[in-house]
């Protein structure tokens, strides 16, 4: 084996003269002080901690393969917390629908609640979702159903307040014959026509 040295055939690299830059004043932008580190964003009216990142916890329990163990699930959320996540999202519906795997919680809310106990409560936002009851292919909504679902989520999460609570599915406003839906469309259409005038 052998090697070939081509360096002798290369033209010399020109050396740049930077002497004119010595002791030159820095541009104004470089003289400015760096801005202070930004504080974690909050909702001013409620002081709910938002952060810049959130973590969706569903896959720890359901829909994406077997659930992880409780200890591993808490460790994953703690790692997300250490990385800067301050909002943790779960839902009433995120659960094991078959036999519960040993060493795991049936509900994802229970797993999130276990994690929440391990960090200061005022440093995280707990978000969960209400899922209406279903009768056949129809959703059922009522104050009683909502109250029951809310109390269940509070108990599973082990908290006295849900920071962000929202609806997992919206009821359709379309009646069986479509009359109600058409009425809404006609009314909104007439309003648009009036605005155009």
Cα distance between residue 183 and residue 40, in whole Å = 46
Cα distance between residue 56 and residue 54, in whole Å = 7
Quote the Cα angle for 146-163-130, to 5°.
25
Cα distance between residue 191 and residue 123, in whole Å = 46
| Residue 43 DSSP SS3 | strand
Rounded to whole angstroms, what are the CA distances from 156 to 106, 109, 128? Answer: 10, 6, 11
Where in the sequence numbering do the catalytic residues fall? 94
Cα distance between residue 153 and residue 164, in whole Å = 12
Cα distance between residue 90 and residue 126, in whole Å = 8
Burial of 150 (0-12, 13-18, 19+ CB in 10 A): middle
Quote the Cα angle for 141-136-65, to 5°.
90
DSSP designation for 76: H
């Amino acid at each position: 084996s052998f090697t070939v040295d081509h360096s002798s055939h290369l033209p010399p690299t020109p050396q740049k003269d930077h002497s004119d830059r010595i002791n030159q004043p820095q541009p104004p932008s470089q003289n400015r002080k760096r801005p202070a580190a930004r504080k974690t964003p909050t909702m001013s009216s409620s002081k709910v901690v938002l952060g810049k990142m959130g973590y969706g916890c569903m896959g720890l329990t359901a829909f994406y393969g077997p659930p992880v163990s409780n200890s591993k699930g808490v460790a994953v959320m703690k790692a997300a917390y250490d990385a800067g996540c301050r909002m943790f999202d779960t839902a009433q519906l995120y659960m094991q629908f078959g036999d519960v795997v040993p060493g795991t919680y049936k509900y994802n809310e229970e797993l999130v609640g276990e994690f929440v106990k391990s960090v200061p409560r005022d440093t995280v936002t707990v978000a969960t979702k209400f899922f209406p009851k279903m009768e056949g292919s129809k959703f059922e909504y009522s104050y009683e159903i909502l109250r029951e679902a809310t109390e269940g989520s509070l108990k599973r999460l082990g908290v006295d307040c849900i920071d962000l609570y929202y609806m997992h599915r919206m009821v359709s406003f379309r009646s069986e014959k479509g009359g109600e839906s058409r009425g809404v469309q006609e009314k909104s259409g007439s309003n648009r026509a009036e605005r155009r005038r």
